[in-house]
A and B are shown apart, each in its own frame.
Chain A
């Protein structure tokens, strides 16, 4: 037993001391923050170039009411339709909007462009023209526009979810989806990253022949388990550092943004990220503060705990299989044939998590995938943000534990033979034979 700790220690220390570990640990949160910051920056600061649109207004009613925006400006076409079209072809202008005479009845516009018209420009024009037409129609119907403008009911839905304790909890499907997808990506990637580290470690020891010395001192099973646990701890360390660093950077980034845009957000709203401010108090807030209000309602400790449990379970289950694959080959290029069946369930669930699972997180497919040990780490993490009953979580975790005990047992039987087989190309038949060796 003492020896297994020595092995765990070696596997852990040799990896944590590597430069690449430090680089990844510090770069990944920065990358996340950069992505988040990029999105925020883009949504606040419109940097798209301005498009100039020539307008031929045959009805003479629309053009005066078209308004220039930050991305589009309109000008009245000087020439005829024919000459303006030529200008498009030779690239002088890029957009030509033709408003027919009977626009009020036909409600159809033509937008000609030298390149494909961007969907934003199309939508902007449609919105503006729709508004102009609506006002015109309202006027025609004899409705006073001023009165109408004053009637602006503003309904906001606060979606509440009854939790098991009976308390009402604010839920936000959009946020849950976001977190579900994020967790799915994280679990998928990390299972692969740390699983293949186990595999590479096994191949390295086998290639070096150092394995023969080690297993003259410890049992192959101890070596395999020590390696799996050691690398798993490296993964957990990395998560812990990521959480701490991301938290720190997120707070720092929020404060920075608050200083940059004192008009848009009060620093109070931004700090509501960590404190729990009911979203109703940020009444007519922008999308961003809505988001922040909902973020404040997310039970991060619960999510992180679930994530860690399913990461550990999934990691133990898959890394044992990765170790068996590593023991069966002499170098990494030979791993392909064995990798496919291992990665299939993961990939399958991963792909589904962006479709069926996220749309119907409580449906039968989602339920069963979150119970089968090979798929549950990803499937369950997609479902957890939407709220999963405790009994389902308990069954899923129990099955996962059973699953990794089974895979570890199978993997260990292949591993103990595989690591001593040099220069032999293993087939599945061979693996079964190894599995059946007495010792």
Chain B
């Protein structure tokens, strides 16, 4: 769907993007992650053709990105904004027409979205009379009104209460199911885990990680397990003269104990389990898979 090829963006002394390349599959939800100032906004602006790269190119469905793709992209910037004095209906109509919709098509779709988002009475309201959350809803509608193939959402959930976060999330999933590819830039890692198929992590203008979320998480598995067992028996530490595992963390409450262990020497969990069954009364065993959050923090710190 979108191929970012060796993009460089230079602002006099500061290099905002340094040979960044990655690919976004059609129909996927793609996480564009990175700490503040990493270069995400620069990249998003290049994809939106607001600015041009100094080097490299972007392919949209295999074609070099150009003006004709503008109407096929929807963009929700992080810094939200609408004309304060303009009526909501007219505003959406204007933005939709700028994206190339005809007036009648635009009117029809706005009405459809108003119904969907429960904002039927908003046409004649001014933006300045709406709450911040309501403005965000209008802005979201403005982003998707022209049914873009590629939707770029920069921090789409900021400013929403939990109820509206769910509404917007469902709309995003819905749009994705209908075939839209979504680029999702956010700092909320739990929504990345929940929504994204693939991610790219940019730090200090460079790509430091990309791939499918499941694969990345697999790669970062480190053989850590959490074991719960009843305490009538012994402390796990005391059993560890075996070189099967080492205890990283240990908590004991009344008659229940929690231990985090790391399996050593390429042993398998089954071997450890076989040993432990003979020692303690096991209640629960879970593999600790690193969250995207942990991976993010780990990689950015390494890069520091």
Cβ contact within 8 Å between A420 and B54 = no
Say if the beta carbon of A214 comes within 8 Å of chain B.
yes
From A7, A207, A213, A422, residue with most partner B Cβ within 10 Å:
A213
- Once the chains bind, are B99 and A212 in contact (CB under 8 Å)? no
Given the known interface contacts A14-B86, A215-B50, A420-B45, the answer about A209 and B99 at a Cβ–Cβ threshold of 8 Å is no
A3 engages B98 (CB within 8 Å): yes
A3–B180 Cα distance when bound, in Å, is 25
Nearest residue (CB) in A for B10 is A438
- Is A217 touching B95 in the complex (CB atoms < 8 A)? yes
- List of B residues within 8 angstroms of A208 by Cβ: 81-84
A201 to chain B, nearest CB (A): 10
Q: Which 9 A-B pairs have the closest CB atoms?
A: A209-B81, A208-B81, A209-B79, A210-B81, A217-B98, A439-B52, A216-B48, A216-B75, A212-B77
Interface residues of B (CB under 8 A from A): 11-12, 45, 48-52, 54, 70-71, 73, 75, 77, 79-86, 94-95, 97-99, 142
A1-38 at interface with B (beta carbon < 8 Å): 3, 6-7, 10, 14
Give the Cβ gap from A429 to chain B, nearest Cβ, in Å. Answer: 11
Cα A204 to Cα B127 with chains together (Å): 14
Q: Are B75 and A213 in contact (CB under 8 A)?
A: yes
A14→B54 CA distance, assembly (Å): 38
CA of A216 to CA of B74 in the docked complex: distance in angstroms?
Answer: 8
Given contacts A14-B85, A210-B82, A216-B50, 18 further A-B contacts (CB under 8 A): A3-B98, A6-B94, A14-B83, A208-B82, A209-B79, A210-B81, A211-B81, A212-B79, A213-B75, A213-B81, A213-B95, A216-B73, A216-B75, A216-B77, A217-B95, A217-B98, A438-B54, A439-B51
Which residue of the partner chain, among A14, A214, A215, A438, contacts B52 with CB atoms under 8 Å? A438
Q: Kindly report which residue of chain B lies nearest to residue A422, judged by CB atoms.
A: B79
With contact pairs A208-B82, A433-B12 given, residues A6 and B98 touching in the complex (Cβ less than 8 Å): yes
Q: Which residues of B contact A211 (CB under 8 A)?
A: 81
Instruction: Fill in one digit per residue for A201-231: 1 if any B CB lies within 8 Å of its CB, else 0.
Output: 0001101111111111110000000000000
| Complex: A439 Cα to B98 Cα, angstroms | 22
Q: What residues on B are CB-neighbors of A213 within 8 Å? A: 75, 77, 81, 95, 142
Q: A208-B82, A211-B81, A212-B50 are in contact. Are A6 and B97 (CB under 8 A)?
A: yes
- A6, A420, A422: the one contacting B50 at CB < 8 Å is A420
Q: Give Cα A420–Cα B12 distance, bound, in whole angstroms.
A: 16
Q: Which residue of A lies closest to B94 (CB)?
A: A10
Greatest chain B CB density within 10 A among A211, A216, A420 is at: A216
Cα A209 to Cα B99 with chains together (Å): 18
Chain B residue, CB-CB nearest to A7:
B98
A438 to B55, CA, bound (A): 12
A-B CB contacts (within 8 Å), total count: 61
Cβ B52 vs Cβ A218 within 8 A:
no
Residues of B contacting A: mostly: loop
Listed A/B pairs (16) with beta-carbon separation below 8 Å: A3-B97, A3-B98, A6-B98, A207-B81, A209-B81, A210-B82, A211-B81, A212-B50, A212-B81, A213-B75, A213-B77, A213-B142, A214-B98, A216-B49, A420-B45, A437-B11
Bound state CA distance, A420 and B45, in angstroms?
10
A216→B94 CA distance, assembly (Å):
14
In the assembled complex, which residues on chain A have CB atoms less than 8 Å from the CB atom of B83?
14, 204-205, 208, 210
In the assembly, what is the distance between CA of A209 and CA of B75, in Å?
Answer: 13
Main secondary structure of the interface of A (DSSP, over half): helix
Residues of B contacting A7 in the complex (Cβ-Cβ under 8 angstroms): 98
Cβ contacts under 8 Å, A420 to chain B: 45, 50-51
Residues of B within 8 A of A3 (CB): 97-98
Closest-CB distance, A19 to chain B (whole angstroms): 12
What residues on B are CB-neighbors of A216 within 8 Å?
48-50, 70, 73, 75, 77
Alpha-carbon separation in the docked complex, A438 to B142 (Å): 30
- Provide the bound-state CA to CA distance between A205 and B79, in Å: 12
Q: A14: which B residues are within 8 A, CB to CB?
A: 83, 85-86
Contact partners of B70 in chain A: CB under 8 A = 216-217
Q: Nearest chain B CB to A223's CB is how many angstroms away? A: 10
Complex contacts, B52 vs chain A, CB 8 Å:
438-439
CB distance from A31 to the nearest CB of B (A): 27
Complexed CA–CA distance, A209 and B81 (Å): 5
B-contacting residues, A303-350, CB 8 Å: none
Complex CA–CA separation, A420 to B50 (angstroms): 9
Provide the bound-state CA to CA distance between A223 and B97, in Å.
Answer: 14
Measured CB to CB, the closest approach of chain B to A206, in angstroms, equals: 9
When chains A and B are docked, how far (Å) is the Cα of A422 from the Cα of B94? 24
Cα–Cα distance between A10 and B142 once the two chains are bound (Å): 17
State the CA gap A214–B99 with chains docked (Å).
9
Determine the chain A residues whose CB is within 8 A of the CB of B94 once the complex forms: 6, 10
Within the complex, the shortest CB–CB distance from A432 to chain B, in Å, comes to 11
The CA of A433 and the CA of B95, in the complex, are separated in Å by 31
Nearest B-chain residue to A439, judged by Cβ: B52
Chain B residue nearest in CB terms to A9: B94
Q: How far is the CB of A17 from chain B (nearest CB, A)?
A: 10
A217: B residues at CB distance < 8 A: 70-71, 95, 98-99
Q: Give the complex CA separation of A256 and B48 in angstroms.
A: 64
A207 cross-chain contacts in B, Cβ below 8 A: 81
CA distance A210 to B52 in the complex (A): 20
> What are the interface flags for A78-93 relative to B under an 8 Å C-beta threshold, 1 for contact and 0 otherwise?
0000000000000000
Query: Complex formed: what's the CA distance from A7 to B142 in Å?
Result: 16
Closest to B49 in A: A216
With CB as the reference atom, state the residue of chain A lying closest to B47.
A216
Q: Report the minimum CB–CB distance from A79 to chain B (whole Å).
A: 74
| Set of chain A residues within 8 Å of B84, measured between Cβ atoms | 208
Closest CB in chain A relative to B142 CB, distance in Å: 7
Roughly how many angstroms separate A422 CA and B77 CA in the complex, as a whole number? 14
Bound state CA distance, A165 and B80, in angstroms?
62
Bound state CA distance, A133 and B20, in angstroms?
Answer: 101
Residues of B near A6 (CB, < 8 A) are 94, 97-98
User: Please, which residue of chain B has its CB at the minimum distance from the CB of A13?
Assistant: B90
Complex: how many Å from CA A7 to CA B97? Answer: 10
Complex-state Cα separation, A214 to B118, whole angstroms: 25
Shortest CB–CB separation between residue A11 and chain B, in angstroms? 11
Minimum Cβ distance to chain B for residue A210 (Å)? 4
**Distance (whole angstroms) from the CB of B46 to the closest CB of chain A:** 10
Give Cα distance in the complex from A212 to B45, angstroms: 9
Within 8 A of B (CB), among A108-129: none
* CB closest chain-B residue, reference A430: B12
Do residues A209 and B54 form an inter-chain contact, with CB atoms below 8 A?
no
